[in-house]
């Protein structure tokens, strides 16, 4: 049984029940059914407002959002949690000459398409920049200048990449500091603009922000630390293909450990601990 007992959270007599459907061992596309039992422990009738929310966009449905609960009475309502169906997305990673999309260039690009938790397609290529490869980037990535001399220019690689992303959910890891713009998207858009190409419609997801929602309190949300913490396969870091795969796996892991929060707010009672609530999975 998945169960959490709420405790008062605020002076407005709100109680919070949190549950992780991960413990219910549900699969993507399935609906988990919960029952919420709310007990009025006060001495007067309470008008209850109930709400449910999550951090990653699952479909939530409460059987009621307002209840009247007399003193000593227990009322129950249902909560349905539907995990996303047919998870399909493209994870993307770039290696670049530095951090400024307006001035720096892409030197490696990879995309990996996931469908229902499996890799079903992908692409990876080095990209020949116009500017020299900085020594620190060569050391960081292991990419050698002589490899880039033989690589295709961005104008040859980019059209196929944009076509692969078009109309899909795209997952990448991290944003440009102070902007909130996904790092890889900023570089792709800048490259598309310089090449005279239209950037396609996409829904962009930051796996770093998803990780912060799913796992609070980690010392670092870098891709390297998350890869280690989640015990993902050890692969070379700071290369586009393995980093794209890692970003996709982080996103899938975050989805499967999403947290649901149910808030019960007692408006009609003066007793600060008047309402208690529990939540349990049906059928366990």
If asked whether residues 218 and 263 sit together in one domain, one would say no
If asked whether residues 97 and 48 sit together in one domain, one would say no
**Which stretches of the chain are DSSP H helices?**
135-141, 145-149, 154-165, 183-195, 207-214, 223-229, 240-256
If asked whether residues 138 and 206 sit together in one domain, one would say yes
If asked whether residues 148 and 128 sit together in one domain, one would say yes
If asked whether residues 136 and 245 sit together in one domain, one would say yes
For residue 6, what pLDDT is reported?
36
**Segment among 41-50, 156-165, 192-201 with least mean pLDDT:** 41-50
Secondary structure (DSSP) of 90-127: EEEEEEESSS-TTT--EEEEEEEEEETTEEEEEEEEE-
For residue 105, what pLDDT is reported?
98
If asked whether residues 264 and 211 sit together in one domain, one would say no
Residue 165's pLDDT band (boundaries 50, 70, 90)?
A: very high
Residue 149's pLDDT band (boundaries 50, 70, 90)?
A: very high
If asked whether residues 18 and 154 sit together in one domain, one would say no
CATH number at 198 reads 3.30.420.10
CATH number at 28 reads 2.60.40
Residue 76's pLDDT band (boundaries 50, 70, 90)?
A: confident
Give yes or no for a contact between 79 and 24, defined as CB atoms under 8 angstroms apart: no
Structural domain range at position 231 = 88-256
Question: Does the pLDDT at position 104 exceed 50?
Answer: yes
If asked whether residues 245 and 104 sit together in one domain, one would say yes
If asked whether residues 198 and 61 sit together in one domain, one would say no
For the chain, the domain total comes to: 2
């Amino acid at each position: 049984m998945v169960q959490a007992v709420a405790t008062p959270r605020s002076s407005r007599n709100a109680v919070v029940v949190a549950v992780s459907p991960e413990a219910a061992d549900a699969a993507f596309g399935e609906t988990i059914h919960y029952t919420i039992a709310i007990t009025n422990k006060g001495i007067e009738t309470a008008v209850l407002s109930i709400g449910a929310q999550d951090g990653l966009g699952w479909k939530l449905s409460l059987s009621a959002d307002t209840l009247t609960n007399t003193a000593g009475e227990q009322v129950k309502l249902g909560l349905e949690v539907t995990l996303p169906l047919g998870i399909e997305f493209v994870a993307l990673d770039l290696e670049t000459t530095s951090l400024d999309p307006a001035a720096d260039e892409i030197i490696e690009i990879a995309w990996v398409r996931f469908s229902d938790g499996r890799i079903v397609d992908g692409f990876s290529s080095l990209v020949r920049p116009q500017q020299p490869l900085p020594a620190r980037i060569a050391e960081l990535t292991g990419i050698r200048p002589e490899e880039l001399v033989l690589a295709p220019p961005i104008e040859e690689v980019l059209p196929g990449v944009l076509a692969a992303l078009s109309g899909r959910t795209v997952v990448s890891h991290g944003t440009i500091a102070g902007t909130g713009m996904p790092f890889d998207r900023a570089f792709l858009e800048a490259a598309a603009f310089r090449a005279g190409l239209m950037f396609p419609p996409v829904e962009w997801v930051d796996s770093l922000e998803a990780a912060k929602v799913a796992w609070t309190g980690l010392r670092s949300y870098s891709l390297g630390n998350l890869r280690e913490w989640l015990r993902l396969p050890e692969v070379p870091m700071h290369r586009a293909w393995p980093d794209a795969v890692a970003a996709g796996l982080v996103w899938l892991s975050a989805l499967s450990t999403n947290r649901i929060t149910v808030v019960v707010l007692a408006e009609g009672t003066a007793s600060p601990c008047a309402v208690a609530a529990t939540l349990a999975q049906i059928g366990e």
